[in-house]
Amino acid sequence: MRLERKTVVITGAASGIGQATAERCAEEGARVIVTDVDTEGGRAVAETIEDAGGEAEFHELDVTDSDQCHAVVDAVADDYGLDVMVNNAGTGHPGGSLEELDDEIRDFVIDINIKGVWNGCHAALPHMKEQESGAIVNVGSLASILGLPKQAAYSTSKAAVLNMTRTIAAEAGPYGIRANAICPGFTDTQMLEGYLEQQDDPDAARERMAAQYPLKRFGEPEEIADAILFLASDESSFVSGHGLVVDGGFSTN
C-alpha cells in the first residue's frame, strides 16, 4: 500500500484522469477527497471507491474560487491532515490561432488552468509547511513543453503550470515538500472526445492523431493515474521540480 494512511485531495476528480487517479490512490490505501464542480459525477466516484472497500468523500469545489479552495482544503486538513494535493482540474478550448481566440475563451482557460492550480497550491502549502511534509502534483500537458498549434491559450496555461510547479519546488523544498507536474499527451477522456467532435470527420481525426504517436495510440486515464501515483508516493521521495512527460513517445518526433 503506497499511500496507506495518507490523505489525498484531487481536483476535477469526477471523470477522466481525475477519476482514474482517485480510484488508483484509493487502491493504494489513501483516504481520497474527491472534488469537482460536477456534484453528481463526483459523488458517484466517491461511492464507487467506497463500494470497492476504499475510503472517500466528496466536496463540491470550483477551483477558480480561491475562498472555496481554502475552505475545502482547510476543512480536510483539520479533519485528516493533508499529505498529497493533486491539482488536476483543467479545460481546453476550440482550435484557433491566437488572433482568432476571443478574450472570453482566453480568460476562461487561464482562470481554470492557471488560477485553479494556483488556488489549490495556495490552499495546501500552509498546511504542508506546518507539518513539514507533503507532495503536490500538478497536471500539466504535453503543451507544457511544446507549443501546440491552434491551442495558444491552452499551451500558455499549461506552460505556466510547469513553471509554477518548479517555483513551488524551489520555495517549499526546505519544508520537506515536493512539487512535480505530470505532462500527458492526448489521453482518451471526455476532453479528447470533445475536441474530436469539433472536427469534420471525428473518426478520421482520431486515427490521424493517434498515428502521430510512436505507440500508435492515445494514453488511457489509468496510465496517467499510475504516473501521478508515483509522484505522490514515497517512491519518488527525491524527485521534485520535475515535469514527467507521459506521451507515448510523441515528443520524440
DSSP 51-80: HTT-EEEEEE--TT-HHHHHHHHHHHHHHH
CATH topology of domain 7-184+221-243: Rossmann fold (3.40.50)
pLDDT of residue 196: 67
- Judged by DSSP in three states, 17 sits in helix
Smallest CA-to-CA distance from 74 within 127, 30, 22, 150 is with 127
Residue 253 is classified by DSSP as: -
Torsion of CA 172, 29, 69, 43, to 10 degrees: 160
Asked if 22 and 49 count as a contact pair (C-beta separation under 8 A), the reply is yes
pLDDT of residue 199: 75
Q: Write out the chain's pLDDT in tens, 253 residues.
A: 899 999 999 999 999 999 999 999 999 999 999 999 999 999 999 999 999 999 999 999 999 999 999 999 999 999 999 999 999 999 988 778 899 999 999 999 999 999 999 999 999 999 999 999 999 999 999 999 998 887 899 999 999 999 999 999 999 999 999 999 999 988 887 776 767 677 777 787 788 888 888 999 988 999 999 999 999 999 999 999 999 999 999 888 7
Cell of 41: 459525477
Q: Tally the C-alpha atoms within 13 A of residue 179's C-alpha that lie toward its C-beta.
A: 28
Smallest CA-to-CA distance from 168 within 85, 226, 233 is with 85
Asked if 136 and 179 count as a contact pair (C-beta separation under 8 A), the reply is yes
- Judged by DSSP in three states, 93 sits in coil
pLDDT of residue 173: 98
CATH 3.40.50.720 residue ranges for the chain: 7-184+221-243
What is the C-alpha separation between 66 and 199, in angstroms, rounded? Answer: 35
pTM: 0.95
Pairing state between β 84-87 and 7-10: parallel
What is the C-alpha separation between 121 and 139, in angstroms, rounded? Answer: 12
Does the active-site annotation cover 154?
yes
What is the C-alpha separation between 35 and 75, in angstroms, rounded? Answer: 13
Asked if 196 and 202 count as a contact pair (C-beta separation under 8 A), the reply is yes
Q: How many helices (H) and strands (E) does the chain have?
A: 9, 7
Neighbours of 204 (CB within 10 A): 11
Query: Which entry of 80, 154, 175, 213 is annotated as an active-site residue?
Result: 154
